[in-house]
Amino acid sequence: MNETLKRLYELHAPALLLYARIWCRYPEDALQEALIELARQRKLPPDPVAWLYQAVRFRAINLNRSEQRRSRREQEVAFTRAAFFVSKPQQAFDSADLQQALQSLPQEQREIVVARIWGKLTFEQIAKLNGHSSSTVHRRYREALEELKQKLDGIPCEEVSND
């Protein structure tokens, strides 16, 4: 059990943190609580990755409620300092631009994009997380990608396809 948890943490912690950042300013707390909750389970769930995403989502929303009681200034400082992505010299996007583009998306689209791209969840798993049908999730995912592409590349998808 301990080895499984450790492997899950090492493999999925960055994506889970990014996922928790959608709702709360201190995503490590949400991830930690979710891991402790997973360790308390007598039997490992059939799909532990999807289970972890569900647990992180729940904890992050709860933490967000308690964070609202803290001072707003403290939250702002913590939020601007946190870097969502690793910054490397030769990567496809500048990490700060990607972070800004991701933050400009509506919360629901942001959740779907993070869970799909960095969490590598299927559309069915994401649909179970946010309670929509998989076709709706797929449609919103495409809309979000098009919006991100327009913001990051500066060219909308329609123009690219017409070229």
Q: Which residues bind another protein (CB under 8 A)?
A: 2, 5-6, 9-10, 13-15, 17-18, 28, 31-32, 35-36, 39-40, 82-86, 91-93, 95, 98, 113, 117-118, 142, 145-146, 148-149, 153, 157, 160-161
For residues 52 and 46, give the distance between their C-alpha atoms in angstroms, rounded to a whole number. 11
Q: What is the dihedral of CA 145, 151, 152, 154, to 10 degrees?
A: 110
Q: Which is nearer to another protein, 31 or 72 (CB)?
A: 31
Question: 24, exposed or middle or buried, with CB in 10 Å at 0-12, 13-18, 19+?
Answer: buried
- The least distance separating another protein from the CB of residue 47, rounded to whole angstroms, comes to 20
- The least distance separating another protein from the CB of residue 149, rounded to whole angstroms, comes to 5
CA–CA distances in Å: residue 153 to residues 42, 112, 122, 127, 136: 48, 20, 26, 28, 25
Q: Which is nearer to another protein, 39 or 77 (CB)?
A: 39
3 state DSSP class of 19: helix
Q: Which is nearer to another protein, 107 or 155 (CB)?
A: 155
- The least distance separating another protein from the CB of residue 32, rounded to whole angstroms, comes to 6
Q: Are 130 and 58 in contact (CB under 8 A)?
A: no
Q: Which is nearer to another protein, 5 or 61 (CB)?
A: 5
- The least distance separating another protein from the CB of residue 125, rounded to whole angstroms, comes to 17
